[in-house]
Each structure stands twice: as structure tokens, then as C-alpha cells.
Homo-oligomer: A and B are copies of this chain.
Amino acid sequence: MDYFYGPGRNHLFVPGPVNIPEPVIRAMNRNNEDYRSPAVPAMTKTLLEDVKKIFKTTSGIPFLIPTTGTGAWESALTNTLSPGDRTVSFLIGQFSLLWIDQQQRLGFNVDVVESDWGQGANFDILASKLAEDTAHTIKAVCIVHNETATGVTNNLAKVRKILDDYSHPALFLVDGVSSICALDFRMDEWGVDVALTGSQKALSLPTGMGIVCASPKAIEASKTAKSVRVFFDWKDYLKFYNLGTFWPYTPSIQLLYGLRAALDLLFAEGLENVFERHARPGKATRLAVEAWGLKNCTQKEEWFSDTVTAVVVPPYIDSAEIVRRGWKRYNLSLGLGLNKVAGKVFRIGHLGNLNELQLLGCLAGVEMILKDVGYPVKLGSGVAAACAYLQNNTPLIASRV
């Protein structure tokens, strides 16, 4: 079962699924349990309470759904909207594209606001659409906080500002899949109505839990939303929350214990420190890319992502070959370029459970691969740039001071 085994650790730098902390792997190393015993509800109660903290919400209601990010999207949409409802949705890369595709297939009337891949969401167009929409036909604004395909982070505070400027009642639905637990996310402050993430991203768990958090306004909307849904229906969850047994159907025991351990680690480190631990590799990676003389797919600094960097390769190089070489030669897993940027970019994920030396090993690997495929990189240049920054900025590990 390990027929592709390579010596040493796999260097996992795709932007998800990410490295699981060893204490979390340990916590999940267990047999099944009866989820109707007193133990599972007791633990679930702590999870639901604590998971709100990663959304920075006190009034939101979280749902831990046995699904992926795609299912979490579907849960967010079908519980709050009715077929034919108009949404404004930003298309800036592969994942926003997929979400828009889902919105269309679910029967919504999607007003797509497209940007070049590598740019952030176009808020001017949002403003003009809201300005025009005095009849409030727009029922939801849908945005991906961090577009994983291009490494673009959108400014969510601005979205809220624009909605407020026009006193527009549209729901504010946010895909936080590659941001939550890595980038600062403020559900209550930003008036987000549904926020969601997946367990295998910055939470650093295995895939299999879609975490959706709904504002009171979203919960209210769910009471009248006519989209057909059963598996993803919040109503069933709310019914079992009230019963105190919490689960309308069987959860993964292992993921529950894993989530408990993951949250414990995040809170012990401190969420703000976690964000800093993501900001440093983000900056360091961008400095390395610059030193290599390559272009960041993200076109402006305001959109730079601290969870993933998409690196543009020269036209004479196939970025997929870089990814293949990494896996074949150095046990390094990089992200492919997707769709429009296939062959043109490769991606370095720097989110989740990671530290500086892991990143530097990855950057050294990328340098050697760039040389392998014929790009005239100066070996050591990117690592030097990253080190110069990190050596001045990495703090001591709090528990070891």
C-alpha cells in the first residue's frame, strides 16, 4: 500500500490538503464509538462553542457537516436562497468559477463579476450593481475570501462597507476555505451571513468536514428558502441541537476528536499568532519568487495571499513539469496551475501546520527544479532572500522560551 513510497518525509506544499499536526494524527488514531452515547454530544457541545472562535463570531451558528468544501458551498446556498434568486458572484479564478458553476446548476440567477485571473474582486462593479438594485433583487453577494488558484485575497471589509453604503439587504456569503484559521476572518465585524471552510485546509485535519457558520439573518433566511435540500439542510441540525444529541446522522468520530485537538492547538498558539505564522511564509515566499526573477500571479500587493503563492513561469516552461519533477525527484508536492493558468503557474501552498524550515526546504527544492527544467535561476537566491527576512522576523516558539 506504499508503492509510491519515497524515503524521508513528503514535503506537502499543495494549498490543501495540508500537513496534519502530529498531536492531531494521534487524537484521530482510534476505533469508532457510539455517537449516541453521552460522550459524543458532550464533546460536540464544546466543539460547536469553540469553532465559533475561528470565525470570530458570537451570534453565528456553526454546522459540522460530513462533506467537503463543495458540499459546504451547497449548504450555504441551498439553505439561504430559492431557485431563481439573483446572486452577485465574483469570478477571479478556478474556485470562484466552480462555485459560480454550482450556483448556476442549483438554479440561481448569477450575476458574474469577472476579473482577470491574478486580480481581486472588482468592487466598483459590485457598488454600481448595488446602486442600481433599488428593488433589492440581489439576494446574495458571493465571494471567495482567498482564491486558491491564483493566490488572491479579497478585502471582505470592503464588501461589507459597500453593502452598508447602499443599505443593501443582500446576504453576504463567503468561501473561507483557504483563509479561515490562516488569515484574519471576522464574521461578526464584517457582517458575513454564511462563512465556510473545509477541515483539510488551515484547520489541518483530514478532508471530510465542511464547517459552515450561519448568522442569525442567514438562519432566518433558511426558514423560507425554497431550494430543495435534505442532507445539507440546517433544519435537521437545529432540531438535533435542540434535542442535545446534535447529530441528525452519523458524524466521523475520528474527525470530531481531531477537531478537538486541532482547536486546542490553535487556541494554545493564539489565533493572532497563527495569522502571523502564515504572514511570515507568505512574505518569505514572495521574496524568494522575486529573487528568482519570476512573477507572482497575483497582480497587486493588496491582493497578496499569505496562504498560497501562484508563481508564473516563463512561456518556454510547462509549470506542470515543475510539479511532476518535485514529486518524482524530491518528494515535494506543489500545486498545479488550474484551468486558464494551467501550464503557466505552479503553486506553493503555505497554510496550515507548517514552520519556517519546512518552507525553506521547499524553496530550495523549487530552485533546483527550476534549474532542472532549464530556467536560469541562481541556486540559493530565493532561500537567501527568504532567510534574510525570516532571520529578522521569526519569533521564538512560545512554549519553549
Contact = CB atoms under 8 A, between A and B. Distances in A.
A93 to B, nearest CB: 16
Contact of A67 (B19, B83, B231, B332): B231
A198 B32 CA distance: 14
Name which of A31, A251, A362, A399 has the most chain B CB atoms within 10 A of its CB. Answer: A31
Interface stretch (A48-56, A102-110, A156-164, A215-223): A102-110
Contact of A7 (B4, B6, B67, B354): B354
A25 interface: yes
Contact of A355 (B107, B330, B359, B397): B330
Interface string A47-78: 00000000000000000001111110110000
B361 A360 contact: yes
A399 B4 contact: yes
Contact of A208 (B252, B355, B399): B252
A391 B329 CA distance: 10
Interface in A276-295: 277
Contact of A364 (B27, B68, B329, B360): B360
Contacts of A7: 21, 265, 269, 277, 353-355, 397
A29 B32 contact: no
Contacts of A362: 357, 361
B5 A32 contact: no
**Chain A interface extent, by class:** 35 or more
Copy tally for this chain in the complex stands at 4
A33 B5 contact: no
Contacts of A394: 329-330, 368
Name which of A10, A25, A357 has the most chain B CB atoms within 10 A of its CB. Answer: A357
A364 B379 contact: no
Given A230-B106, A362-B357, A69 B249 contact: yes
Name which of A1, A269, A353, A360 has the most chain B CB atoms within 10 A of its CB. Answer: A360
A185 to B, nearest CB: 19
A7 to B, nearest CB: 5
A11 interface: yes
Nearest to A23: B2
B357 A330 contact: yes
Interface string A1-44: 11111111111101011111111011111111111111100110
A113 interface: no
Contact of A206 (B32, B42, B357): B32
Interface of A: 1-12, 14, 16-23, 25-39, 42-43, 66-71, 73-74, 83, 101-102, 105-107, 198, 200, 206-208, 227-233, 248-255, 257, 260-261, 265, 268-269, 277, 327-333, 336, 353-362, 364-365, 367-368, 371-372, 378-381, 383-388, 390-391, 394-397, 399-401
